[in-house]
Amino acid sequence: MYKLLVTDVDGTLLDHNSKLTELNKRALKDCLGNGIEVIIATGKSINSIMFIINELGLKLPQITLGGAVVITPEKKVINTVKIPPILYLDVLQKVREKGHELLVATIDGKIYCQKYSDPMKHILAVGEEINKVDNLESEYFLNNVVSISIPISDSDPLDLFVRKTYKGKLQVVRSGDYFFDILNLKSSKGAALTSLIKELGIKKEEVVSFGDSHNDISLFKASGLKIAVKNSYPELIEIADIVTDENYNSGLGRAIYKYILNMEIPCNLKKNFLFFNKLNT
């Protein structure tokens, strides 16, 4: 019997329009109704996922910013893993020398930039709010930054430059096009999950997780049952126990009913799902 379900957000729980499908919502509520708790594990901030938390009525601490911040729905910070000030300043300097602007996230889940750049529209598109400030090198940011994001594609030379420059010093994680994050080496969804389930008295074997990206690899390693949506990166599919339908086909919800709850999809939702599939064939 599983006691905890952990899911990634973009590309997994939400569809391509960043919407929570009715099937996924009902499936997660049925999990909660059957004694299976739900935790979100995302690279996003707490503010951008509050609509999901409120919709589902989640109570447990949530894993945000790639595992760098574990925070309650009431926004009480449980645990953080910050970026060392010296490395933080070095990244700022080198990225700017390459002609790029970056975003930083602080322990409270807020995201900041010093100068807005067009690629940041991709960050805004997934529901994040960007706050503009005059100086990212102030003492506040030196002591409170947990994540640095650079909105670049994997073909941008800066991707490889950052990986080589900070190898063994900082962790670099890509979770999609234009979602390129730099974290403390100790930050990961998996590390945050391992710490949480220990506090909750839940065994690894009692945890099922869903994901689609590279930053979900650590999450899978910390879980008993690993389910990847079909649109996942090949590296995640390779280590998954089960591969379900794509995120836009409510793969999460379908897998929950089939493998977790061992129930039929509710009739009204099944009809909607079949109609949706017919429209897309």
Beta strands 62-64; 37-40: pairing state: unpaired
Q: Specify the pTM.
A: 0.91
- The answer, yes or no, to whether residue 279 has pLDDT greater than 70, is no
Would you list the domain boundaries of the chain?
4-79+188-279, 85-183
Letter string b/e over residues 176-193, b meaning 16 or more CB atoms within 10 A of that residue's CB: bebbbbbbbeebbbbbbb
Give per-residue pLDDT as tens, 242-274. Answer: 999 999 999 999 999 999 999 988 877 765 555
Residue range 64-83, pLDDT digits in tens: 999 999 999 999 999 999 99
Residues 157-175: pLDDT tens digits? Answer: 999 999 999 999 999 998 7
Q: Dump pLDDT digits (tens) for 115-156.
A: 999 999 999 998 899 999 999 999 999 999 999 999 999 899
Per-residue pLDDT tens digits for 170-191: 999 987 788 999 999 999 999 9
Does residue 281 have a pLDDT over 90?
no
Mean pLDDT of 31-54: 96
Residues 6+ apart with CB under 8 A from 196: 39, 60, 61, 63, 70
Q: What is the pLDDT of residue 176?
A: 79
d(CA 53, CA 39): 9
Return the CATH number of 85-183, one of 3.40.640.10, 3.30.1330.60, 1.10.15.40, 3.30.1240.10: 3.30.1240.10
CA 237, CA 232: separation in Å to the nearest integer? 6
Q: Is the dihedral of CA 103, 105, 109, 113 positive or negative?
A: negative
Average pLDDT over residues 235-247: 97
What amino acid occupies position 104?
Answer: V
The pLDDT mean for the chain works out to 93
Average pLDDT over residues 43-70: 96
Percent of the chain with pLDDT over 70: 96
Domains 4-79+188-279 and 85-183 share a fold: no
Helices (H), 157-266: 157-165, 189-200, 217-221, 234-239, 251-255
CATH of 4-79+188-279, one of 3.40.350.10, 3.90.1210.10, 1.10.3720.10, 3.40.50.1000: 3.40.50.1000
The pLDDT assigned to 7 comes to 98
Query: Is the pLDDT higher at 23 or at 267?
Result: 23
In 3D space, the residue among 93, 76, 43 whose CA is nearest the CA of residue 216 turns out to be: 43
182 and 83 Cβ atoms separated by less than 8 Å: yes
Residues 110-115, mean pLDDT to the nearest whole number: 96
> What pLDDT, on the 0 to 100 scale, is given for residue 175?
79
Percent of the chain's residues with pLDDT above 90: 88
Confidence band (pLDDT; 50, 70, 90) for 90?
A: very high
Tally Cβ neighbours within 10 Å of residue 129.
12
